[in-house]
Amino acid sequence: MGIVSPGFQGRRRMSGPALPPGQYLTEDFPVLSAGPTPKVPLDDWEFVLGTETGAEFRWTWPELMGLPQETPTVDIHCVTRWSKLGTSWQGVSLDTLLDGVDTAARYALVHSYGGYTTNLPLDDLRGGRAWVAHTYDGVPLPAEHGGPARLLVPHLYFWKSAKWVRGIRLLVDDQPGFWETAGYHDYGDPWREQRYQGD
Amino acid sequence: MAATTTGVPVTEPLTWRVARLVGRRAETPTAQTLVLDVPGWPGHLPGQHVDVRLTAEDGYQAARSYSLAGPADGDRIALTVQRVPDGEVSPYLIDVYAEGDPVEVRGPVGGWFVWRSAETAPVLLVAGGSGVVPLMAMIRARRAAGSRAPFRLVYSARTPSDVFYADELRRRARDDQGLDVTYVYTREAPEGWRGEPHRIGLADVHTHGWPPELEPLCYVCGPTGFVETVADLLVGLGHQSRRIRTERFGPTG
């Protein structure tokens, strides 16, 4: 327990089993990004999966839409302490995209249009836990929330769910991404409150 | 891929430190600057923020992030807190928190939305409402470091009485060489102000910012809609995305 601040009561609005420690519930969908919102025309959009040996797998927008689609409903947790429960998405599972990709890599570095990057273990992209999502709440994902498509990895803090996703490079060695280089946690598990390096 | 950060690597775990209130001043009817004494504070860069944690008698805790309002100053830090109606933390900090009382703080956090005094490039700061706080830290740091980097602040506020740091900005605009300050009022302008109240637009950013050829560093901070608008305008005017750093202020009740 921390040092008591005299007279502080609190609202207890954070309480509830669905919320990780230190998070509060929001009904809004706040936006957090480090720079301008890239505008990516669907005709130019592509998603590239690259392996540690240099092999590349590419999907255009129509090709992505032609893959089996899933509709996850998930809770999301931002490191800035808001959580939003029961969000509805549509997208393609990373299991589908990684199917048939021969790799010995253990890490992934995610790239976005606009230059953003984030890293995570490859295992966290497997097992029905990660998607390339293009639809939110039944409508195409707005650009400020990462459209045309963003990564969705809801079991980690939301900065790992890279907006405007452009590709994923599979790596033998871990390589920190944008926020991870700036002092945020390498893994970012909200249930262990891994906000910053050393947590 | 562009935006690799030259951020501040945090090598040690960020620990919670006890901070005590040593002073406060009203900025507007709904915002106050709190000056805290934090023994062992490691220092910070302008633009960084801290987490503030409150603990109730029964152990219940609530934490929020606040931008640091000034440059590093020993064990002293300053936060400007906007009272969020129905908020959990900000009403306590403004109405209840008393001199000498403890809170816990952790930081500094954030290594991207920062300005370094060794930078010589022109700087454009665009603030929406309470988004001025980290930008004010940069303005203060510039003077403290004796930097000659040319700075321009374009500050959008609802009315003149919503302007944070009004007297200091007036003084600095007069005394800090190479600092220009321009206001945009969205609801009500002061008497004698030219033009009508309006939301920030292309003409404001074009007229009072820097031409893209000078490759200024642009910092935009405010509510989401404001930041989206301004960042899009800057891109439209020809500024490179990688030179535009943004921070969005949600309500942090």
Q: How confident is the model at residue B11 (pLDDT cuts 50, 70, 90)?
A: low
The CATH number for A133's domain is 3.90.420.10
Whether residues B63 and B135 share a domain: the answer is no
Measured in angstroms, the CA of B222 and the nearest CA of chain A are apart by 11
Number of domains composing chain A? 1
Domain of A169 in residue numbering reads as 24-28+40-192
d(CA B244, CA A133): 26
What is the predicted pLDDT for the residue at B80? 95
Whether residues B128 and B244 share a domain: the answer is yes
Q: Is B117 a member of any domain?
A: no
Q: What is the mean pLDDT of residues B152-163?
A: 97
Q: Is A8 a member of any domain?
A: no
The CATH number for B163's domain is 3.40.50.80
Under-50 pLDDT residues of chain A? 14
A3: nearest CA partner in chain B:
B55
- Do the Cβ atoms of B246 and A117 come within 8 Å? no
Mutate to test the interface with A, among B38, B44, B54, B237 (most CBs of A within 10 A): B54
What is the predicted pLDDT for the residue at B6? 41
Q: What is the mean pLDDT of residues B146-164?
A: 97
Is residue B39 predicted with pLDDT exceeding 50? yes
Domain of B68 in residue numbering reads as 17-109
Q: How confident is the model at residue B7 (pLDDT cuts 50, 70, 90)?
A: very low
What is the predicted pLDDT for the residue at A13? 55
Tens of pLDDT, residues A55-87? 999 999 999 999 999 999 999 999 988 899 999
Whether residues B24 and B130 share a domain: the answer is no
Q: Which chain B residues are within 8 Å of A179, Cβ to Cβ?
A: 112
Number of domains composing chain B? 2
What is the predicted pLDDT for the residue at A185? 95
Q: Which chain B residues are within 8 Å of A34, Cβ to Cβ?
A: 3, 112-113, 245-246
What is the predicted pLDDT for the residue at B88? 87
Q: Is B114 a member of any domain?
A: no
Q: Is B196 a member of any domain?
A: yes
Q: What percent of chain B has pLDDT over 70?
A: 94
Q: Is B162 a member of any domain?
A: yes
Could you tell me how many CB contacts below 8 A there are between chain A and chain B? 148
Q: Which chain A residues are within 8 Å of B112, Cβ to Cβ?
A: 34, 178-179, 182
Worst-scoring range by mean pLDDT, B69-73, B131-135, B193-197, B240-244? B193-197
The CATH number for B69's domain is 2.40.30.10
Q: Is the ipTM of this complex over 0.90?
A: no
Average pLDDT, chain B: 91
Of A4, A36, A182, Cβ closest to residue B232: A36
Q: Which chain A residues are within 8 Å of B92, Cβ to Cβ?
A: 5, 7-9
What is the predicted pLDDT for the residue at B253? 44
